[in-house]
């Protein structure tokens, strides 16, 4: 659980988000980021960013970058949030135009990516007929402070890259320019000496970001901060003066690690990477910038994605399917920047055979989940195995690798998790999280339709306040009125092997109600459903049949999945092809084109890979993207060419 302090809560309140503070807080505690709706994912990003820019970060940068931002990149690579400078959040404060645009940086996490960036430099140099021998690269520590711009009379924050705030007061408070530099050196970073922070400030401040915020804040500075400024421990460090390594690009290629290491340890300030930039002005001009970063500059960052950790104990948790999962409580450890104190073990067979219990040492790996998984056991001990279901006390049984609670009718954990899963999967409502569901269950509501049958006065009777009770009623109404895809509705029932993807595949052939009449033979005929899964699906549907028809009769607003008519499918020119759509389309929205392509039997992917058949590029698609696709052997079609391909059918 993340604990928000009062400052953070008050910042969130001022953000004017469409959701309650408590809802926003709960989004941060969703363990599996892929479960967040796009809107909720953006809320998390915007909120984290606002807290970070106000000196009160709630999550670590690596979690922000590798978990949340990465998820958005995977889902919506073109999203505007990714293509602009992440704005400072200015609450109640005036902004002024910056003397010069300030951008973010492009990021690389491997030598391979740096090599590719150098190739782009060489290409630009080639286009300008600049000789290879003249291409030098400057490498500097990427200061992890507060970006600012000093024009000699005023100091500005970076703001949204075009407009910032006037924070000249920081200089009036005695802030010095690093390296005995004078004023007016342009862009730089306000930073705090690491050694001073560790020895003097770390007891009273959680991180140096709190202090950077205090230096520029309108309100009076804290005494300890003023002392730090006076001692010269806080400085404005212009990038032009920063310690650097500058040399020929070939040396960067041949000596990469040594150069990075040297610069990584070159300054006594927090850094979060190393910046590479070309020095040749002509090349810089030619390469230019996106709205987000300069193409002639790139930040190299490192992910420490794995750690060895001691297990304190293993606790069993019963899921909605009755499977009892082992959750390891760990000695709190930093991983990818976040402090981790719990992790899931694959299954109890791993606990048993690899000896996971108090005192064991395990290797943790972060894999896109906020709570990481245990990949390997380094030191084993006598395992801790439960005998009974932690929720209902029924004797649990082995089913291949798993321990399972066989109590299908009366296990609180299974019932509650099933209900939570339903509302969460619908995704068009709020309010039916684990706490609320637990309370409803205590008052005897065990089925989805029973919750829908409850009226406001029932909720009040269960002990909810008047406002919450009304909200629950409104949310139930919303969940029926806001349109959702029929496959999502089906997935919400939590039938084994019927997550969203399989539901969508099935509904391309059978309508919802037809599915409940389908036989194993019917399903096996479909691409992607083998005998075993078909049997499990038919049995699973049978188990939820009664509840499904009761809930369906409540009139949900379902968008029906388009059927792939086998006849048409074989004849369409894109049947079985993998398509990627990018850029702005003229004929309609990209979403509509993707739907149409799916209906014609194509597979639609979000990003280009060697499996892609066609990249359909609309307006405003960069040459790089098109060339990258061509390099992978992908046929690139304009929107017009694509429409002609369909029309020629």
Closest residue by Cα to residue 476 from 554, 415, 413, 545: 554
| Contact partners, residue 528, CB within 8 Å, separation at least 6 | 502, 505
142 belongs to the catalytic site: yes
- Indicate the residue among 197 and 239 with the shorter CB distance to ligand NAD: 239
* 150 binding ligand NAD? (CB under 6 A): no
* Mask for 212-241, x = binds ligand NAD (CB under 6 A): ---------------------------x--
Of 107, 142, 603, 625, catalytic: 142
Tokens of 42: 């953006």
Contact 33, 71 (CB under 8 A): yes
* Bridge partners of residue 269, in order along the sequence: 193
* 391 binding Zn ion? (CB under 5 A): yes
Round to whole Å and give the CA distance between 226 and 223.
Answer: 5
Binding-site annotation, residues for Zn(2+): 389, 392, 405, 411
Binding-site annotation, residues: 61-65, 104-105, 158, 189, 301, 389, 392, 405, 411
The CB-of-254 to ligand NAD minimum distance in angstroms stands at 23
- Which entry of ligand NAD, Zn ion, none binds 411, CB below 5 to 8 A by partner kind? Zn ion
Return the residue of 275, 538, 600, 602 that touches ligand NAD, per CB under 6 A. Answer: 275
Tokens of 317: 């948790």
* Bridge partners of residue 146, in order along the sequence: 190
φ, ψ dihedrals at 538, nearest 5°: -60, -40
Burial class (CB in 10 A: 0-12, 13-18, 19+), 595: middle
Contact 316, 403 (CB under 8 A): yes
- Indicate the residue among 389 and 615 with the shorter CB distance to Zn ion: 389
Contact 101, 153 (CB under 8 A): no
**By CB under 6 A, which span of 33-41, 48-56, 313-321, 353-361 interacts with ligand NAD?**
48-56
Binding-site annotation, residues for NAD(+): 61-65, 104-105, 158, 189, 301
The CB-of-245 to ligand NAD minimum distance in angstroms stands at 12
* 162 binding ligand NAD? (CB under 6 A): no
φ, ψ dihedrals at 212, nearest 5°: -55, -45
Closest residue by Cα to residue 511 from 574, 458, 576, 559: 559
- Indicate the residue among 141 and 326 with the shorter CB distance to ligand NAD: 141
Return the residue of 49, 56, 414, 582 that touches ligand NAD, per CB under 6 A. Answer: 49
Rg (alpha carbons) of the chain, rounded to whole number: 28
The CB-of-385 to Zn ion minimum distance in angstroms stands at 16
β strands within 119-253, DSSP E:
136-143, 146-150, 155-157, 163-164, 176-177, 186-192, 234-238, 245-248
Round to whole Å and give the CA distance between 355 and 345.
Answer: 11
* Mask for 347-386, x = binds Zn ion (CB under 5 A): ----------------------------------------
**By CB under 6 A, which span of 101-109, 247-255, 495-503, 582-590 interacts with ligand NAD?**
101-109
Contact 380, 356 (CB under 8 A): yes
* 403 binding Zn ion? (CB under 5 A): no
- Which entry of ligand NAD, Zn ion, none binds 235, CB below 5 to 8 A by partner kind? none
Total of residues contacting Zn ion (CB under 5 A) = 7
Closest residue by Cα to residue 192 from 210, 167, 166: 210
Contact 273, 300 (CB under 8 A): yes
Would you please indicate which residues are annotated as catalytic (active-site) residues? 142
User: Which chain residues interact with ligand NAD by CB under 6 A?
Assistant: 48-49, 52, 57, 59-61, 64-65, 85-86, 102, 104-105, 140-143, 147, 158, 189, 239, 242, 275, 299
User: Which chain residues interact with Zn ion by CB under 5 A?
Assistant: 389, 391-392, 394, 405, 407, 411
């Amino acid at each position: 659980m993340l604990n928000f302090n009062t400052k953070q809560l008050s910042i969130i309140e001022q953000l004017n988000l469409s959701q309650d503070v408590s809802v926003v807080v709960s989004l941060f505690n969703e363990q599996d980021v892929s479960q967040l709706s796009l809107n909720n994912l953006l809320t998390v990003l915007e909120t984290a960013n606002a807290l970070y820019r106000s000196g009160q970060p709630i999550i670590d940068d690596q979690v922000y970058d590798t978990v949340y931002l990465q998820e958005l990149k995977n889902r919506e690579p073109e999203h505007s949030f990714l293509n602009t400078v992440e704005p400072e959040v200015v609450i109640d404060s005036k902004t002024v135009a910056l003397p010069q645009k300030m951008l973010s940086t492009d990021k690389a996490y491997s030598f391979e990516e740096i090599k590719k960036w150098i190739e782009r430099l060489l290409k630009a140099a080639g286009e300008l007929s600049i000789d290879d021998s003249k291409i030098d690269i400057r490498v500097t520590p990427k200061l992890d402070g507060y970006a600012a711009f000093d024009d000699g009379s005023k100091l500005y924050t970076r703001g949204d890259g075009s407009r910032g705030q006037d924070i000249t007061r920081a200089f009036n408070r005695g802030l010095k320019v690093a390296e005995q530099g004078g004023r007016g050196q342009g862009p730089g970073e306000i930073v705090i000496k690491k050694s001073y922070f560790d020895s003097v400030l770390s007891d009273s401040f959680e991180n140096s970001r709190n202090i950077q915020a205090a230096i520029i804040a309108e309100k009076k500075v804290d005494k300890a901060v003023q002392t730090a400024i006076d001692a010269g421990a806080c400085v404005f460090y212009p990038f032009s003066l920063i310690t650097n390594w500058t040399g020929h690009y070939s040396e960067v290629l041949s000596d990469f690690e040594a150069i990075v290491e040297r610069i990584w340890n070159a300054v006594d300030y927090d850094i979060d990477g190393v910046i590479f930039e070309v020095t040749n002005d002509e090349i810089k001009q030619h390469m230019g910038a996106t709205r987000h970063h300069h193409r002639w500059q790139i930040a190299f960052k490192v992910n420490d994605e794995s750690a060895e950790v001691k297990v304190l104990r293993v606790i069993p948790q019963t899921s909605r399917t009755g499977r009892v999962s082992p959750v390891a409580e760990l000695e709190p450890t930093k991983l990818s920047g976040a402090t981790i104190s719990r992790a899931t073990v694959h299954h109890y067979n791993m606990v048993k055979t690899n000896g996971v219990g108090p005192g064991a040492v395990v290797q943790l790996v972060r894999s896109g989940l906020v709570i990481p998984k245990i990949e390997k056991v380094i030191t084993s001990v006598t395992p801790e195995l439960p005998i009974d279901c932690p929720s209902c006390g029924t004797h649990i049984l082995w089913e291949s690798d798993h321990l399972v609670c066989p109590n299908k009718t009366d296990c609180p954990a299974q019932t509650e998790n099933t209900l939570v899963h339903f509302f969460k999967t619908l995704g068009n409502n709020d309010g039916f999280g684990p706490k609320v569901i637990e309370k409803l269950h205590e008052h005897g509501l065990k089925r989805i339709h029973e919750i829908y049958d409850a009226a406001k006065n029932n909720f009040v009777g269960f002990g909810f306040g008047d406002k919450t009770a009304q909200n629950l009623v409104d949310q139930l109404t919303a969940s029926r009125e806001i349109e959702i895809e029929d496959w999502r509705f089906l997935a919400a029932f939590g039938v084994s092997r019927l997550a969203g993807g399989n539901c969508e595949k099935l509904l391309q052939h059978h309508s919802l109600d037809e599915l409940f009449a389908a036989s194993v033979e019917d399903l096996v005929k479909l691409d992607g459903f083998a005998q075993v899964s078909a049997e499990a699906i038919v049995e699973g549907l049978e188990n939820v049949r009664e509840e499904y028809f009761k809930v369906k009769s409540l009139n949900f607003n379902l968008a029906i999945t388009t059927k792939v008519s086998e006849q048409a499918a074989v004849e369409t020119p894109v049947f079985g092809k993998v398509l990627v759509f990018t850029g702005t389309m003229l004929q309609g929205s990209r979403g509509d084109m993707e739907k149409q392509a799916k209906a014609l039997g194509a597979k639609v992917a979000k990003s280009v890979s060697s499996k892609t058949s066609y990249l359909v590029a609309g307006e405003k698609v960069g040459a790089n993207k098109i060339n990258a696709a061509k390099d992978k052997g992908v046929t690139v079609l304009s929107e017009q060419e694509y429409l002609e391909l369909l029309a020629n059918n």
